[in-house]
Structure 1
């Protein structure tokens, strides 16, 4: 059996993961992370990690395992929170949970666990791991979706490397959430009825503008409404034809029926067509009418509908685009507004990450995958095209709220093959 250090967070998932590891005969040690001290902008509690630590201690005592505490707040601030501030300042919307896993839980925390003599590091994530031996003798570690479709967290781990996966264990990945709750209750674990954490990883639920104002100043600007009749919605993309609903559907290549993950060489679109399909909608103040004011374009994200303070509409207003340089926010009325929908996205060359490097595509190749562009989004059919200029994901149907700074992750069945940061 192995020496396993588990990240005990004070939640039910990691608690049951620790119990299962002990049942399997492993030598288990708990490690609790302190990652955030500042409570600026938080909506609940003064220092939520204090409560988390108490619950972690109760679980460790019940399971009779040692519990160590490590303060990683300096690394968390520089590698996750400062990145968040930087991205929001550029008008992009980062995903701190994906960053937290890549930069903290499976990097800084992993190194701390190795200092304690760990053979493996375990977490309470709802995902699974598999291994494959390649013909050349190399071992590839695969990241698989969790067995519970309602709790699958593989998306949050879409930036992990082979080295990080090599050490990872996911003891609850084969279980459904109700089973985890049941085990915790049967074993008398203090976390059995504890609510799942929400909000920013290790920070909690926040008032985002207040939180961001630690680094990003408020700045009055204008809100402009773009009408669904804006001419470029009908004529904007040369590679597609207007669909019945007024959005642009991507051109489907002939013979595009290959299994997921298999290169599809025929009927490849030109680089220019891919660039046009993936281009975001771009507006100027002349394209719409001013209908209100905001406190800073960097506080808003594409697809957002709350926080505008403009009422009296038949349908909600949604953010279509933000211009942080000019400090303008563009909005449209209704969930079906064509400005919310796009047929494709672009990933810059340096932002393409292959979780399974044996499945990597070379420039000039393309393949079909199932894709999600946010956590819990149902998987969407798409073709991934790799070019010298980066990667392009062209979806079978237009997607709502493609957001720069977020991660697109592509799957073949249950396996998460790769991911990348959406460029624009």
Structure 2
């Protein structure tokens, strides 16, 4: 019997009585918790008319206090009161198992029309709990405890399942990185909707689940640089920046707060004998490109349970265990662009509006007019403002002059690529670099690393300034850099 079940054993009040008790005598309404690391979360708002705010205080791995405020329907108040009742005095892991179903059960069951209130209370509670734990002191490591980054997709879910089957104590965490009314929340892997979905799956698997709100850090560390680099005429790679400097570092830090020895993810990657990134067994799904900027300290704490599997095997495992995400499609777009176009996003969030400029050929002859250099990237063929009988491609953009230069495909082929910000990992030497990946899932090109770039053994088409160059020794990532102009 778990702690939550023990605390509710013996309650014999009828369902309507339990609901009425929380409605008439709410637990912690208007109360400001004290005595530990503080966290607050809110859910609901104008769209539904109900708003729930939950506050918790955490100390020594226990929710020492909690309170709430609620407006809207009576069910929202009762659900928030139930959430507070369930987590007061609970360990953080027991509190992290409290979801919509537990809150509904505490109220004696809820009708379909009132389940929304339990969802809101659960969302607010988990935001508060995640915030409090993230600010808490580092706790003692528990042998065999692993934090798993769960996005709600099949890969991270199977990663958690495999670890649990191996006898590990699995704790799940999901990041909320972006919230935008114009986004398709169901298509994003980091929205509030995705967090709720991941929490439901984790609870179905019997796992404690935390929500970690990194929206401010994500905007400052990923979205703002992405916008600035577009304005500067570059083609940035926000996923490399996010993995290397924002989300995985934050989750490793969170692992320290819950006593986990490691952080596991659903990435298709492996580790080399000396602790560097190594390509996954399934080359078609290998994700080491997106992880190439990871620091050694963070990489040392990471585990990749799917590194030796391929995608069909992962889906088969999910189906075998009747996981609802077995057939869930992979995310295909940047998480903050889900449901909205790149041009619309650049306009709304970066102020990059229509700015006509010249379209040039290689000789500088004006071929026509474009809508703004930031709408185009090197190698682009579709959607060009000038059409000719022969195919044309963007071979260069110039942000300062606001021009784009078009040319034949052959003009994109290069045998040398300028690099900036070259980083070599683990004390590796430049002479060890024997290959470079210049685009996600592009073939590895044999090369020689030079002080300011790579000399390629064979030509490569359209390396885009601003993208990441991943430096390899065989199938091991030993460095990375940014492609220059």
TM-score interval, smaller chain: 0.7 to 0.9
Alpha carbons of 1:337 and 1:298: their partners in 2 closer, same or farther (altered >3 Å)?
same
TM-score by length of 2: 0.67
Deviation at 1:44, TM superposition (A): 7.5
Query: Which residue in 2 is equivalent to 1:304?
Result: 380
Q: Tell me if 1:403 matches 2:464.
A: yes
Q: What corresponds to 1:4 in structure 2?
A: 146
User: How do 1:17-416 and structure 2 match up within 5 A?
Assistant: 17-40=159-182, 42=183, 49-132=191-274, 141-204=275-338, 206-213=340-347, 214-226=349-361, 287-311=363-387, 313-333=388-408, 336-338=409-411, 340-348=412-420, 351-355=421-425, 357-361=426-430, 366-386=431-451, 391-416=452-477
Structure 1 gaps, min length 5: 133-140, 231-286
| Deviation per residue, 1:106-128 (Å, 9 max, x gap) | 21232223222221111100000
Distance 1:182 1:169, change over 3 A: same
* Aligned-CA RMSD value: 2.0
Distance 1:45 1:105 in 2: 20
* CA deviation map 1:354-401 (0-9, x unaligned): 23x23133xxxx455111101100111111123xxxx32000122111
CA contact (8 A) 1:43 1:207 kept: no
Deviating above 6 A after TM superposition, structure 1's stretches of 4 or more consecutive aligned residues are none
d(CA) in 1 for partners of 2:417 and 2:472? 16
C-alpha distance in 2 between matches for 1:168 and 1:376: 22
Any conservation in 2 of the 1:411–1:417 contact (CA below 8 Å)?
yes
Secondary structure of 1:14 counterpart:
helix
Between the aligned partners of 1:319 and 1:44, the Cα distance in structure 2 is 33
SS of structure 2 residue aligned to 1:131? coil
* TM-score when normalising by structure 1: 0.76
Structure 2 residue ranges without an equivalent (≥5): 1-142
Alignment partners' CA distance in 2, 1:201 and 1:117: 29
Residues in 2 aligned to 1:75 and 1:83: alpha-carbon distance in whole angstroms: 12
Q: Kindly tell me: are residues 202 and 178 of structure 1, through their superposed partners in 2, closer, same or farther at Cα, counting changes over 3 Å?
A: farther
**Cα displacement (A) at 1:304:** 1.3
Distance 2:186 2:357 in 1: 34
SS of 2:255's partner is helix
Q: Is the Cα–Cα contact under 8 Å of residues 417 and 483 in structure 2 kept in the other structure? A: yes
C-alpha distance in 1, partners of 2:280/2:406?
Answer: 37
* 8 Å CA contact retained: 1:55, 1:191: no
| Structure with higher helix content | 2
| Distance in 2, Cα, partners of 1:39 & 1:341 | 41
Q: Which has the higher contact order (CA 8 A, sep 6+)?
A: 1
What is the rounded CA distance, in whole Å, between the counterparts of 2:279 and 2:343 in structure 1?
A: 33
